[in-house]
Amino acid sequence: MNLEQKIGQLFLIGFQGDNIDASHPIAADITQRNLGGVILFDRSLATKQAHNNIQSADQVKLLTATLQGLARTPLLIGVDQEGGKVRRLKPELGFPATASAAELGQKNDMTLTAIHAATTADTLQALGINLNLAPVVDVNSFAANPVIGRLDRSFSPSPETISAHASEWIKAHRTRGVLSCLKHFPGHGSSRTDSHHGFTDITETWSPEELQPYKDLIAGGLADAIMTGHLFHKELDPTYPATLSTRIIANLLRQKLQFSGVVISDDLQMKAITDRYGLEEAACLALAAGVDLLIIGNNLDYNPDILARIIPAILQAIRSGKLQEKMIHEAYARIQQLKKKAIRSYTE
C-alpha cells in the first residue's frame, strides 16, 4: 500500500444522504482514496435537513452493507450513540431508547448500566455499525457546562464512578464486536464554553483528577480508542489545543499515561478549530501531534470533495518536513490493529 493510500485510512468522513451508489462522492473516497471509515448523522446541520444518513433500521443496514461492499479494507463505521439526549438512532425512528450517562450514574447500578450498554451495542451490531463514539468519561465537575453537564452526558462528578460505569459500557460493546471511544481528552467536564462554537479554555477550571478515568481504563485494557477534545490549557500547552498538541498527545497521553491505541480527533470542523486554523493546516498539525484518525463530520459544513482536498496538503506537509512520514505509517498500523480488534472480538 502506498503512502497516499495509507493517508486515506486515517480519516473518518461524514457524507450526505441515506443511500449511495457508485456515483456518490463518498464512494469515490472509498474506492479511489482508500477512506478508513465514515461517521453517520441523523440530520444535516449544514443544509438544515431534518434527515441525513439515518431513516430506519432496514435503511441503515443496507447503507452500511453498501459502504462495506465498496471497501478493500473494512471500514470503521462510527456514530455518536451515547444515550439520553445524544443519540443519532432515535426512538421516533424505531430505535430503542436508552438512558443518559447521568441517569445511569445517579442510579449507580452496574447491572442497569450493562443492560443499557448491551441494548445500544446490540442495535449497532445489527445495523453494521462497528464504532460507537462513546462513552463520555468527562468528570461532571461543572454541572452548568453547556455541552456536558447540561446535556447529562457525564456519569458522575466522581472519577471512580465514571471508571466503573464506563468499564461496564465498554465490556458490553466488546462482547458484540463494537468498538468504543473514550472522550474528550484531557477532560471537557469543567469547561464553561462549548468547543463546537469556539475557543474553549480550560486552564483555570481543569483538574488533574479529570485524567483518572483514562488512567483506570487504560490500565484495565479497556481503552479501544481515545478522542481528543479541542480544549486549550496553557499549562499543558501554551500554543495549541489538545487535538493539535504534541505535548498533550505524545507526552501526556502516550508517554505518561502509556496509551498505545488509536487517538481520534473530535470533529475538525468544530469552531474551536476552524476559527483559528484552516482545515488542511489543522489536519497536518493533528497528525504531527500524534492523532491517528481524523474526524471530518462534513455536517457542520458540507464539502463532498473534502478528502480529495486534504490528502495533497498532507503530502505537501511531508515533503516540506512539517510532518514526518513515519507518523503516517504508525497511525496506519494502529488503525489496522483497531479494525482487527473489532472483527476478532465479535468472532471470539
Measured over the CA atoms of residue 186, residue 192, residue 194 and residue 199, the dihedral's sign is negative
Q: In the structure grid, which three cell numbers stand for residue 284, read together?
A: 497536518
Task: Give pLDDT tens digits for 3-42.
Answer: 999 999 999 999 999 999 999 999 999 999 999 999 999 9
Q: What percentage of the chain carries pLDDT values higher than 70?
A: 98
What secondary structure letter does DSSP report for 119?
H
Task: Give pLDDT tens digits for 267-290.
Answer: 999 988 999 999 999 999 999 999
Phi/psi at 132 (5° precision)? -100, 120
Q: What percentage of the chain carries pLDDT values higher than 90?
A: 91
Q: CA 70: distance to chain centroid?
A: 22
| pLDDT of amino acid 344 | 53
Helix, strand or coil, per DSSP, at residue 132: strand
Write b or e for each residue in 89-110: b if 16 or more Cβ atoms lie within 10 A of its Cβ, otherwise e: beeeeebeebbbbbbbbeeeee
Confidence of residue 187 (pLDDT cuts 50, 70, 90): very high
C-alpha torsion angle, residues 303, 304, 310, 315 (rounded to 10): -160
Cis amide leading into 157 (omega within 30): no
Q: In the structure grid, which three cell numbers stand for residue 226, read together?
A: 481515545
Task: Tell the burial category of 72 from Cβ atoms under 10 Å away from its Cβ (0-12, 13-18, 19+).
Answer: exposed
Q: Which of 28-42, 87-101, 119-133, 192-206 has the lowest mean pLDDT?
A: 192-206
In whole angstroms, what is the distance from residue 179 CA to residue 103 CA? 23
| pLDDT of amino acid 348 | 41
In whole angstroms, what is the distance from residue 314 CA to residue 80 CA? 27
Domain residue limits, the chain: 3-347
CATH of domain 3-347: 3.20.20.300
| pLDDT of amino acid 343 | 61
Check if the beta carbon of residue 178 is closer than 8 Å to that of residue 132: yes
Check 196, 233, 267, 329 and give the catalytic one: 196
- The yes-or-no answer on residue 196 being catalytic is yes
- The yes-or-no answer on residue 266 being catalytic is yes
Check if the beta carbon of residue 126 is closer than 8 Å to that of residue 180: no
Strands (E), the chain: 11-13, 37-39, 76-79, 81-83, 86-87, 131-132, 179-180, 182-185, 225-228, 262-265, 294-296
Confidence of residue 50 (pLDDT cuts 50, 70, 90): confident
Task: Give pLDDT tens digits for 289-346.
Answer: 999 999 999 999 999 999 999 999 999 999 999 999 999 999 999 999 999 987 654 4
Q: With 80 as the cut, is the pLDDT of residue 223 above it? A: yes
| pLDDT of amino acid 284 | 98
Q: Which one, of 286, 227, 235, 273, lies nearest residue 253 by Cα?
A: 227
| pLDDT of amino acid 322 | 96
In whole angstroms, what is the distance from residue 317 CA to residue 314 CA? 5
Q: How many CA atoms lie within 13 A of 330 on its CB side?
A: 17
Helix, strand or coil, per DSSP, at residue 204: coil
Check 138, 266, 267, 292 and give the catalytic one: 266
Phi/psi at 262 (5° precision)? -80, 130
Mean pLDDT within 140-150: 95
CB atoms within 10 A of CB 1: 12
Task: Give pLDDT tens digits for 132-143.
Answer: 999 999 999 999
